[in-house]
Structure 1
Amino acid sequence: MNKYKGTVTAIALSILLLGCDVAEKKDNHYQWPILDGFPKPQVPENNPMSDEKVALGKKIFFDKNLSANQQQSCESCHQQQFAFSEALPVSVGSTGMSHRRNAPALVNVAYNKTLTWAHDGITTLERQILLPMFAESPIELGIAGHEKEVLARFNSKEYTELFALAFPEQVLSFELIVKALASYVRSLISLNSPFDQYAYLGDDNAISASAIRGMNLFFSERLECHHCHGGFNFTQSTGHEQQLIDRRPFHNTGLYYVENPPGKAGYPAIDIGLAEISTIAKDNGRFRAPTLRNIRHSAPYMHDGSVATLAEVIDIYAAGGRNIEHGLYQGDGRVNPLKSQFIKGFELTSEEKQDLLAFLDTLTDEEFLTSSKHQLSE
């Protein structure tokens, strides 16, 4: 689910198809697995949630028949035990092609206002899912050029029954596959961590004294963490029925400051972030702040998976950026002039660092990482 270079004709055609779909009933009584009082996610009017769509989408999500060569499924890069991410720096597609970016965790994606690491124009899962399906540079599922063959695999008796339940009287198409996948991914809600029990359910014993000290550090102006990872989903990229405005959650965190090309310092040319889409120079190095929910289990970190541990992430922010002293990307991100105003550096004692890590651990929702409701039934 990464950002791609170039124009992909198949994607453009599929997007057009998504604009010509059959109207569906809105009142389907889908029960969101959210806490009382929490806002419901926004859902496109032409793809309301239903249990039947979620069930169909889950089966497709785990099915390697969705890739042209039948070597990968969506789940190959988005595994439940890793908060629906994967333990690799960058993704590798079904044909063995390495990508530029780390597979983002699919945690509370229903609340995301923008999708992918650095694209402010992709705001719905229905549009985003087209990328791994049809993109050709890089290839993930590799459907482009194999559309008829791949679609035919979903014309089995079992799938025909599931499609009929999810989309009555509609003809099998990639449009329906995308809608079903989007519904399943939207159902991946994580709001049952120790932090939730402490903050929203009133259990004062749900987190430790160390974690409470870490929480106070996290929300302090001294560390500034909450400016980019705020709200109940711990990311600025949040939208729901009570919040319709995008807060433009893209930030340069001082991870790089290299010469590419010589004489023009910035992020490595292989990936300059939002600037690639906006073509605005000041967007060089800006990437979307991901949710911190289940963050302990979605390593490695950053858009390119170049940071191995949470302790290292904290060290980089404490230093006000990353100084790479050797290698291809040598340069001092701490002096990047486009760095966010919130990445100014801070000092932590070893105990405070452990407190902060303890707080981040309270954002782990064990049920989300293990629940059979997100798994494919045998």
Structure 2
Amino acid sequence: MVSNFRGIKPLLLATLLLVLFACSKAPTPYTWPLPDYVPKPVVPKDNPMTEESVLLGKTLFFDTALSGNNTLSCSSCHAPEYAFAEPKPVSIGAAGDALNRNALALVNVAYNATFTWAHNNLESIEKQIMIPLFNEHPIEMGVTGNEQQILARLNTPVYQQLFEQAYSTKAPTMDAVVKALANYVRSLVSFNSAFDDYAYAGNDDALTAQQIEGLNLFFSERTECFHCHGGVNFTQSSKHSFQAFAVQPFHNTGLYNEDGKGSYPASDMGLYSVSHNKKDMGKFRAPTLRNIALTAPYMHDGSIGSLEEVVEFYARGGNKANELNPYRSPFIKGFSLSESEKAALVAFLNSLTDEKFLKTHNRHKN
């Protein structure tokens, strides 16, 4: 039997072996790999988390067949070894076009109150996924106009089994594709860093003295870091099963001031491009800092190359600190740290790396 499957991608072959020997049954409720101190994410009622939908989504996520020209997968811009981010300032779409923004890490997005860098009306992963799939200006995955061709590529015995087990349909549909991708991305939870071991598991030896110094600086009024990167997910843009109210802050960090009056480049004015409210000029969502050491370069346009440079940027209060900028966040006011304190702050940010998460997803990507 194995000889009949030569040439099949390793992930697809592994998936096929699973589904061939699975009995027909109702989808299995998904088991969240969460520590006790982390509440479960909110899940849409019309797309419950199941083991089968996550497996389908994972298989699709790493498959170039999902792009219009069969050259790009979701993982091309969201690689597991970089905490599902990408080491480029901005991503390149299937047609070779440079996108406007840096690829956000897909870490704990199940807890996001909003999605993408600057949009206040995308309240679900399902809606967000439609953008990279169908966007035309610029083209990302290039699905628009190629839907039937893509679905035909997915109409294989392997995928037929997967779609049937996950969504009770052998024939692949774009609706099921979007839902499955959303559930796989939703499953990417990361709460097993050295910081977690120290703060929640009571292991006083989990952090070094330098990292503890950095932790204290991070949560101090000197640096103000925690105001925008607070909570269990190190971002205020979050919601979960214990939190009915979704906090959705966007912040102008003073990265640009094109006209001396706070204007951002016309190519990307942040939340203002969606709301058309001048108060939203240059506002972007503060992403999670979990696994942040792996996701360089930083900022919405990938314009800052390292964590050390990020600390320097905030220490000087943004790139135009001495010019009038009515839109800059009041928390971006600059601070003074010694070189050793700056190093301690970076050391603390490194303690947010979840090695177990990385090993698990790097092992399972193929």
1:253 matches 2:253: yes
Look up the SS of the partner of 1:98 in the other structure: coil
Contact 2:193 2:351 in 1 (8 A): yes
How many angstroms apart in 2 are the aligned matches of 1:78 and 1:357? Answer: 23
Change (3 A) 1:151 1:103: same
Q: Deviations over 1:106-135 (max 9, x none)?
A: 000111110000000001011110111111
Structural mapping, 1:25-36, within 5 Å: 28-36=28-36
Match of 2:328 in 1: 339
Paired residues of 2:106 and 2:188 also in contact (CA < 8 A): yes
Question: Match of 2:187?
Answer: 187
Q: 1:168, CA displacement in angstroms? A: 1.8
- Correspondence for 1:352: 341
- Number of residues of Structure 1 aligned to a counterpart in Structure 2: 342
User: Residues 151 and 361 from structure 1, CA distance in 2 versus in 1: closer, same or farther, beyond 3 angstroms?
Assistant: same
> Residues 283-308 of structure 1: CA distance to partner in whole angstroms, max 9, x if unpaired?
00000000000001000000000000
Assess, with a 3 A threshold, how the Cα gap between structure 1 residues 160 and 35 changes in structure 2: closer, same or farther: same
% of aligned pairs identical?
A: 53
Give the Cα–Cα distance (whole angstroms) in 2 for the partners of residues 257 and 52 of structure 1.
48
d(CA) in 1 for partners of 2:103, 2:113: 18
1:285-364 → structure 2 map (5 Å cutoff): 285-323=282-320, 335-364=324-353
TM-align CA RMSD: 1.8
User: Of the candidates 264, 269, 283, which is equivalent to residue 267 of structure 1?
Assistant: 264
Alignment of structure 1 residues 195-210 onto 2, 5 Å? 195-210=195-210
- Tell whether 2:352 aligns with 1:367: no
What's the offset of the Cα at 1:94?
A: 0.6
Instruction: Give the conservation status (yes or no) of the 8 Å contact 1:255–1:333.
Output: no
SS in structure 2 opposite 1:163? helix
1:58–1:375 CA contact under 8 A, matched in 2: no
C-alpha distance in 2, partners of 1:373/1:29? 24
Listed one character per residue, the Cα deviations across residues 127-150 of structure 1 (whole Å, up to 9, x for unaligned) are 110111111001011011111111
Q: Deviations over 1:164-185 (max 9, x none)?
A: 1111247521000000000100
1:178-213 superposed Cα distances (whole Å, 9 cap, x missing partner):
000001001101111000111111111001011111
Could you tell me how far apart the structure 2 residues matched to 1:322 and 1:276 are? 21
Tell me how far apart the structure 2 counterparts of residues 202 and 334 of structure 1 sit (CA, whole Å).
45
Shift of 1:375: 2.6
Whole-Å separation in 1 of the counterparts to 2:361 and 2:182: 19
Structure 2 CA distance for aligned equivalents of residues 215 and 242 of structure 1: 26
Separation of aligned partners in 2, 1:134 and 1:121: 17
Paired residue for 2:3? none
Aligned-pair distance for 1:222?
Answer: 1.3
Per-residue Cα deviation, 1:318-343 (whole angstroms, up to 9, x for no partner): 111114xxxxxxxx676322100100
Contact residue 320 and residue 334 of structure 1 kept, 8 A: no
- Displacement of 1:371 in angstroms is 1.3
Q: CA deviation at 1:63?
A: 0.3
Equivalent residues in 2 for 1:99-248, closer than 5 Å: 99-169=99-169, 171-248=171-248
What CA distance in whole angstroms lies between the structure 2 residues aligned with 1:334 and 1:112? 33
Q: Secondary structure at the match of 2:29?
A: coil
Per-residue CA deviations over 1:260-280 (Å, capped at 9, x if unaligned) read: xxx965111110000111110
CA contact (8 A) 1:188 1:374 kept: no
Runs of 4+ in 1 over 2 A off after TM superposition: 26-29, 169-172, 332-335, 372-377
CA distance in 1 between counterparts of 2:115 and 2:363 reads 21
- How far is the alpha carbon of 1:245 from its aligned partner? 1.7
In structure 1, list runs of 5 or more residues that go unmatched.
1-25, 324-331
Cα distance, 1:344–1:334 mapped onto 2, change above 3 Å: farther
Looking at structure 2, the residues matched to 52 and 125 of structure 1 have their Cα atoms a distance apart, in angstroms, of 18
1:277 correspondence with 2:274: yes
Structure 2, unpaired ranges of 5+: 1-25
TM-score under structure 2 normalisation? 0.90
Contact 1:254–1:335 at 8 Å: present in 2 too? no
Change (3 A) 1:267 1:73: same
The answer to whether 1:40 aligns with 2:40 is: yes
Structure 2 CA distance for partners of 1:372 and 1:82, relative to 1, 3 Å: closer
Instruction: Tell me how far apart the structure 1 counterparts of residues 237 and 129 of structure 2 sit (CA, whole Å).
Output: 18
Cα deviation for residue 37 of structure 1 reads: 3.2
Letter of the 2:159 counterpart: Y
Q: Secondary structure at the match of 2:84?
A: coil
Amino acid at match of 2:347: A
Question: Could you tell me the TM-score, scaled by structure 1's length?
Answer: 0.87
Report the CA distance shift for 1:333/1:172 in structure 2 as closer, same or farther (over 3 A). Answer: farther
How far apart, CA to CA, are the structure 2 residues paired with 1:121 and 1:265? 24
Q: Which amino acid is the alignment partner of residue 139 of structure 2?
A: I
- Aligned position for 2:7: none
Native 8 Å contact 1:256 1:333 kept in 2: no
